[in-house]
Amino acid sequence: MSCQLGDKITDNKTYKVLLVEDDKLDQMAFERLVKEQELAYDYRIAGSYAQAKSILDSEKFDVVITDYSLGDGTAFDVFNLLGDMPVICATGAGDQETAVKAMKAGAYDYMIKDFAHNYLKVLPQVVEKAINHKKTKDALKEYHDNLETLVKQRTEQLAEEKELLAVTLSSMSDGVIAVDAQKRIILFNKVAEDLTGWSFNDAQTKTVDDVLRIIDDKTKKVVQSPFDKVLDSGGTESGTDRDVLIAKDGSRYPVYATAAPIRKEDGAIIGVVMVLRDVAREREIDRMKTDFVSSVSHELRTPLTSIKAYTATILRDPNMPEQVRNEFLTIVNEESDMLKNLIEGLLEISRIESGAVKFSREPMDITTVIEQVLAGLQHFADKTNIHLKTDIGDELGQLQGDEGKIQSMIMNLVNNAIKFTQENGEVSISVRREGNELVIIVGDNGMGIPKEALPRIFDRFYRVIQSGKGIPGTGLGLAIVKDIVNMHAGRIEVQSEIGQGTTFTVFLPLNTQAALYL
Judged by the rule CB under 6 A, the positions of this chain that interact with ligand ADP are 412, 416-417, 420, 444, 446-449, 457, 462-464, 467-468, 473-479, 502
Q: How far is the CB of 428 from ligand ADP (least distance, A)?
A: 12
Pairing of strands 175-180, 399-401: unpaired
Find out whether 271 and 234 touch, Cβ atoms under 8 Å: no
Distance of closest approach, residue 456 Cβ to ligand ADP, in angstroms: 9
Long-range (24+ apart) CB contacts under 8 A made by 389-393 are 389/426, 389/427, 389/428, 389/429, 390/428, 390/429, 390/430, 391/428, 391/429, 391/430, 391/431, 392/367, 392/430, 392/431, 393/430, 393/431, 393/432, 393/433
For residue 437, the cross-strand partners are 434, 509
Distance in Å, CB of 284 to ligand ADP, minimum:
22
Select 269 or 494, whichever has its Cβ closest to ligand ADP: 494
Structural contact between residues 195 and 255, judged by C-beta atoms closer than 8 angstroms: yes
What's the CA gap between 482 and 409, in Å, rounded? 8
CB 169 within 8 A of CB 187: yes
Q: Is 377 helix (H, G, I), strand (E, B) or coil?
A: helix
Q: Residue 10 carries which side chain, given as an amino acid letter?
A: T
How far is residue 89's CA from residue 242's CA, in Å, rounded to a whole number?
A: 87
**Best CA proximity match to 515, nearest among 382, 420, 403, 387:** 403
**Least distance from C-beta 316 to ligand ADP, angstroms?**
33
What contacts 177, CB < 8 A, 6 or more positions away? Answer: 185, 187, 188, 189, 192, 208, 212, 273, 274, 276
